Each structure stands twice: as C-alpha cells, then as structure tokens.
Structure 1
Amino acid sequence: MSTATGTATAARVVDAVKVYGAGDTAVRALDGVSVDFAAGRFTAIMGPSGSGKSTLMHCAAGLDTLTSGSAFIGGTDLSALDDKRLTLLRRDRVGFVFQAYNLLPTLTVAENITLPIDLAGGRVDQQWIDALVDVVGLGDRLHHRPAELSGGQQQRVAVARAFAGRPEVVFADEPTGNLDSRAGEEVLGLLGRAVRQTDRTVVMVTHDPVAAAHADEVVFLADGRLVDRMAAPTAEKVLDRMKAFDARTTADTSRGGTP
C-alpha cells in the first residue's frame, strides 16, 4: 500500500472511531482518527493519559475492532476478515512487544525467539534469526533460560521474537515500562537498529519523551483525536508539546469544559 506521496504504508487507520459502553456511560476512545504509519520507519504514538493511544495501536494491529472506520495492514482491510483470517494475519504479518516479556520459562532464549514460527509449523530462516540475534546482542545467551537473564535482556528476547517471522510491522506497547532507564535505552536503541538494519516497521506507544525521541516520527493524540505529527523528534521538543497539552487541559478544566 502506498500513500498519495508514494511512500509505502505498513499500517493505517481511516476515520477510526472506537466507543466503549453505551448511553450515558459511553466513552469515545477514538474520534475520527486517520493516520498512516510509513513502512521502514519507527513511529511513536504519544498523548496524555486517556488520549486513546493504546486503543489506536490495538485497533491498528487487529487486537481490537473499530466501532466505525477502517484499519489496514498493508492493503488488507482488517474489517473484511473473519476471526480465523484475522488470527492468521496477526501471526504471519504482525509482531508484538509488550511491557510484560511473556517468555516461556522452560524454553531457552533461542527457543523463545523461534516459538511463534514453531507453533505455526513454519520454517525457521536461520540466517534471518542469526542476524536478529546479532542486532539484539544475545549471541552469548542463546542457551540460557529467562530466569538467568536481566529484565532488559528478557525484553531483547521479546523484541527478537517479534521480528522472527519477518512481520510487516511490529507494534510495541510501552516496551520499556518495566525497565530501568539504562535497560530501557538499550531496548529502544535496538528497536531503532532493527528498523534500519532489517528494513522493518515499528509503531510504539509510549508516555516517555525520551523513548519517543528514538523514533523517526511522533504522532500525538488528545481526546481521541490526532492533533499533531513531529518529524525528527528530540526529548525536549516532545516534552514541550506534551506540556502544551497539559496547559490546554488545565485551561479547559478551569473554564468548566471537558478536558
């Protein structure tokens, strides 16, 4: 899939609306969001708490369904897929990294990395796996089990596993949330290297301006709407933008409006 400018698009949503609940208790988590995520790029999604950033990621990745609008992986409209085909798409074309590492404690690092391929009955491309292991720096840990690794090392295993099946796009939801700052920097650095060295696409939800600064572009949400995009972000520029959201929310609240 390509945009009008000719840039390939790994994932996108069009007029995305997501409503939780009904009647007076309904919450409009996404309110008409249209955004594309460029292939071969590292994009961060940011916004105040409750802005809809995790909802956007879950709907774009096919983990949740939209109330209205469309979500695409490449040129595939997710709403056109039944449950079985959606499951296969997530398995074959999408990778995931979450705060929790979700490694199987009885398997070695090498076995955890190739687990999704093995469960699917696929063929492991050892050359690709070796390249990933080199990117994430785990060559001397392949025969260790998760309990023998630090939190940062376990998350690096999870990143390698997400890329193992050569997905078109990897979605990462607060991937450094359980890590200290040093380990978090290592994981963010390797996500960037994975994008550059393997020509993959990463879309990451984060609340941390320092984490967002590792991305090629930051997409900002507020009140369930797309409000800004920032190329070549720095932690300072992202923090300033987030402060502007806080200032607006405070002003709205002081006037008796809805934040």
Structure 2
Amino acid sequence: MSTATLRQRSTAPDAARVESAVKVYGSSSDTAVRALDGVSVGFPAGRFTAIMGPSGSGKSTLMHCAAGLDTLTSGSAYIGDTELGPLDDRRLTLLRRDRVGFVFQAFNLVPTLTVAENIRLPMDLAGRRFDRDTLEWTDALIDVVGLRDRLCHRPAELSGGQQQRVAVARAFAGRPDVVFADEPTGNLDSRSGEEVLGLLGRAVREMGRTVVMVTHDPVAAAHADEVVFLADGRLVDRMAAPTADKVLDRLKAFDARSATNSEGAPS
C-alpha cells in the first residue's frame, strides 16, 4: 500500500499526531529494540480511532509517545499544535493534566474517594473552579455514563464495569483535547466491555470528544470510526468504518504475510 493511501484520513484537524516517530529501547546494538520505526499518523479531532496490531507491533508505544507518557528517540509528537519534545517536565505535566485524558485497563480509581470525588479528581488537582459550565458538563457526563445513583459509592462497592465507567467519566471531566484508552475493556466481561465502548463512542459522537484506543479485540475496534494498523513498529494500513469481521480478516492477512516472510528468511 502506498504512503499516500496510508495517510488518507479525515480533513478535521488533528487532536494528536506523531511525525517520523522512532522509539528505540536499549543502547546496545545487540539488544536494542526498535519499537517504532518512522511512524507518521494523525488522530483527527472529534473522531474515535483504534490502534491495532500483533503483540510487539508498537501500538502501546505509539499511544504512550503520542500522549506524552514516553519520549521519542527521534521524530515529533504533538497535542494539537504543541510539540511535546521541547517541553520540560513541568510543562509536560501541565499539558497532560489540562489537555489529555487517560483510561487504562486497570481502573486506577482512588479507593477512599466516592464516585463523584473520583470524577472530579483531575479538576481538583488542577485547582479549577467549578463554574456553571463545568458543573453542567460534569452533570451531563454523569448521565452519559449512567452513574447518577452511584455518586456516593466507593470503588469497592461497584462492579468492574461500573468502575471503568467512573474512569471514563474522570478522563473526560476536564474536557481534554484527546482521551487515550489503553485496552479499556481488558479486565471486563463482554457485556460490561460493550457498555464501556458504547460510552466512548457516545462521548465522541454526542459530546464532540476525541478518543484514541489501543486494542487487540476486533469487536472493540469496530466501535471506532477508523482503525490504524501497526506491524513491526510501522504503520501498514488504515481502515475506515470498520466491522469486526473486516478487522479480523485484515489481521489474519498480516499474520499470513508475516509467516510467509519468516519462512522465506534465510536461516
């Protein structure tokens, strides 16, 4: 597939992007691992993008570098028009706090806080005032994630699916430019996972948010507007309007190609 085809995407501005992204782990030439190998990809604002690929393809590394949780060896990462590389630790921390939300496989809720307090936590840490707009936004979020009757409960009193719904609401509470979700349904049963994926989709389509999700699950990827595929640290394909069957077929094709290449490699 041509580079031009790979870079076709929405005309919406990018909420986040990387350009010529390279990430190498290890300094020795014998043990160094090239997790990203010249990846350029943008994640359009107001869209739900899934990142997929085989184990070791670089999908989580891409997300971590795009979100400012890890640094690139070379290349550039941006949130909006802000390049992350030149930022010092303090400015990078502030950017992540104010402009980026996170949902992880582990819910990462504070066990001593109630649902309402967990949702407000990022704004409390940032010292933000709860003006009318903020209160209306968080109130709408509570309805979207269906937690109004659980606001005074603590995490231990909730199911796994409910805890992840709290984490989703917390990620969107500060109205970040983009929310990164790393295997957000990995610890959930299929029904709870479907509910959480539906919430992420609703946040994009009904509230104008931007979501970038790493997943290995074709069913989860089918909730996205677009899927980007990585293999061996490189961007190898994109798929608009994905379905679970189409994603699974594409992954099988990558596996078959990889097996053929391995068999043809010299021993």
Which TM bucket (shorter chain)? over 0.9
Name structure 2 gaps, 5 residues minimum. 1-7
What number of residue pairs does the alignment pair up? 256
Q: 2:93 maps to what in 1? A: 87
**What is the letter of the counterpart of residue 111 of structure 2?**
P
**Cα deviations across residues 73-95 of structure 1 (Å, max 9, x unaligned)?**
00000011111000000000000
Question: TM-score, with normalisation over the residues of structure 2?
Answer: 0.94
The Cα shift of 1:256 comes to 3.0
Q: Measure, in 1, the Cα distance between the counterparts of 2:140 and 2:37.
A: 41
The Cα shift of 1:120 comes to 1.4
Q: 2:18 maps to what in 1? A: 13
The Cα shift of 1:130 comes to 0.5
Q: Measure, in 1, the Cα distance between the counterparts of 2:72 and 2:13.
A: 23
Q: Measure, in 2, the Cα distance between the counterparts of 1:123 and 1:189.
A: 30
The Cα shift of 1:63 comes to 0.2
SS in 2 for 1:35: strand
The 1:152/1:257 distance shift into structure 2, 3 A limit, reads farther
Q: 2:84 maps to what in 1? A: 78
Q: 2:124 maps to what in 1? A: 118
Q: Measure, in 2, the Cα distance between the counterparts of 1:123 and 1:8.
A: 29
Q: Measure, in 2, the Cα distance between the counterparts of 1:183 and 1:58.
A: 25
Q: Mapping of 1:124-135 within 5 angstroms? A: 124=130, 125-135=134-144
The yes-or-no answer on 1:26 pairing with 2:32 is yes
Question: TM-score, with normalisation over the residues of structure 1?
Answer: 0.96
Q: Mapping of 1:230-249 within 5 angstroms? A: 230-249=239-258
Q: Mapping of 1:53-68 within 5 angstroms? A: 53-68=59-74
Q: 1:198 maps to what in 2? A: 207
The yes-or-no answer on 1:99 pairing with 2:105 is yes
SS in 1 for 2:150: coil
**Cα deviations across residues 123-153 of structure 1 (Å, max 9, x unaligned)?**
2311100000111111111111111100000
The Cα shift of 1:6 comes to 4.5
Q: Measure, in 2, the Cα distance between the counterparts of 1:243 and 1:4.
A: 23
Q: Measure, in 2, the Cα distance between the counterparts of 1:46 and 1:20.
A: 21
Match of 1:220 among 225, 229, 235: 229
Report the aligned-residue RMSD: 1.4
Q: Percent identity?
A: 81
**Cα deviations across residues 148-193 of structure 1 (Å, max 9, x unaligned)?**
1000000000000000000000000000000010100000000000
Name structure 1 gaps, 5 residues minimum. none
The Cα shift of 1:4 comes to 10
